[in-house]
């Protein structure tokens, strides 16, 4: 039996201890809301992929935080669209930073909602294909574990600490279990990949509940999370949707009583992009250093929906890589 041994970062450690104390049983799973009232201002931010530096700058650009990286947006609701993990070296610091901002947002009457992405799920399943060397090294001191554990023993030595951290029921998986697959804020639906008509049979609340139980080590991985049609994996609306995909979208929106869907997951080479007559907004612009996309966020104020952008070259690190925007 392994136990967590967090570095001395008090805010995140406190959140972790609270989550472990709660226990993540059925009562916790049922207690997490998925539908939230409308807000005067909503900001959606795409995939961050382990880049704290760019996260700090995009939040400032969107007037969410001040120059000291403190919440400065009052009652604004921010939705981060998932994929905080992989491809970057600052994941643990980024998770802690976002956890602190969540508390500050709540105290100010606002909210910061963190959604699950496919890369969070991949880490829970010990699929580490997109973890950097720094990503493995960052978790070496994060947990202690039994090296004889069959799940961990089969992995390369440098991967075992990360696997112990993110395996279902592990300390970082317990934090992920506080996040939802999909939420509704006012008349806006937010989900990493997208909701398809078949997902309506399960329902948002039940999808969130089953996923939470899986990450907490309280249940099996739900079937709806598997395959390319998963809410975390589908690109039906974000690649190049045709009439058939748009009809699917309209069916989902009508059934849920919302006006639009917001998705991440697929990097948009042209920046934040509306599709299907503006009923779906694709907000993954490749923010992280791995992709080198522009600083962009989606701002929703009533029926006024727009992307806000700042040139990346004003904040980019020296020698930042910019590989092709094709992403998994």
Tell me the pLDDT tens digit for each residue of 126-169: 999 999 999 999 999 999 899 889 999 999 999 999 999 999 99
Q: How many CB atoms lie within 10 A of CB 219?
A: 16
Residue 317 scores a pLDDT above 60: no
Distance CA 55, CA 108 (A): 20
Q: Mean pLDDT throughout 47-57?
A: 97
pLDDT digits (tens, 9 = 90+) for 9-38: 433 443 443 444 344 444 454 558 999 999
Does the domain at residues 10-314 carry the CATH identifier 3.60.21.10?
A: yes
**Of the residues 119, 199, 265, 290, which is catalytic?**
119
- Least Cα distance to 51 among 132, 113, 109 occurs for 132
pLDDT score at 24: 45
Helix/strand/coil for 302: coil
Helix/strand/coil for 167: coil
Does residue 119 contact residue 132 with C-beta atoms inside 8 Å? no
pLDDT digits (tens, 9 = 90+) for 195-205: 999 999 999 99
> Strands 273-275 and 260-263: what pairing?
unpaired
Is 53 annotated as catalytic?
Answer: no
- Least Cα distance to 46 among 98, 117, 103 occurs for 117
Q: What is the CA radius of gyration of the chain?
A: 19
Residue 114 scores a pLDDT above 70: yes
- Least Cα distance to 31 among 202, 222, 216, 188 occurs for 216
pLDDT score at 185: 99
Helices marked H in 177-232: 204-215
């Amino acid at each position: 039996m392994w136990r967590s041994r967090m570095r001395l970062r008090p805010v995140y450690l406190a959140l972790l201890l609270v989550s472990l104390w709660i226990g993540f049983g059925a009562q916790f799973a049922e207690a997490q809301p998925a539908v939230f009232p409308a807000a005067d201002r909503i900001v959606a931010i795409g995939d961050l992929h382990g880049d704290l530096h760019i996260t700090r700058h995009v939040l400032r650009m969107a007037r969410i935080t001040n120059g000291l990286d403190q919440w400065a947006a009052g009652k604004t609701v921010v939705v981060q669209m998932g994929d905080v993990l992989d491809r970057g070296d600052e994941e643990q610091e980024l998770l802690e930073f976002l956890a602190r901002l969540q508390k500050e947002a709540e105290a100010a009457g606002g909210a910061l909602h963190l959604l699950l992405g496919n890369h969070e799920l991949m880490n829970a399943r010990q699929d580490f294909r997109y973890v950097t060397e720094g990503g493995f090294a960052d978790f070496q001191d994060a947990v202690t574990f039994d090296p004889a554990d069959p799940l961990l023993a089969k992995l390369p030595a440098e991967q075992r600490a990360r696997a112990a951290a993110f395996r279902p029921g592990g300390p970082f998986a317990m934090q992920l279990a506080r996040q939802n697959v999909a939420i509704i804020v006012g008349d806006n639906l937010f989900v990493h990949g997208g909701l398809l008509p078949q997902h309506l049979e399960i329902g948002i609340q039940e999808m969130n509940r089953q996923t939470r139980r899986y990450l907490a080590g309280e249940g099996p991985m739900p079937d709806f999370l598997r395959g390319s049609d998963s809410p975390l994996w589908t690109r039906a609306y974000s690649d190049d949707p045709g009439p058939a995909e748009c009809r699917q979208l309209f069916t989902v929106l009508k059934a849920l009583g919302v006006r639009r869907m917001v998705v991440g997951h697929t990097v948009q080479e042209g920046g934040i992009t509306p599709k299907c007559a503006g009923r779906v907004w694709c907000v993954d612009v490749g923010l992280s250093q791995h992709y080198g996309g522009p600083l962009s966020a989606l701002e929703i104020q009533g029926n006024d929906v727009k992307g806000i952008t700042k040139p990346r070259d004003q904040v980019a690190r020296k020698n930042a890589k910019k590989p092709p925007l094709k992403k998994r």
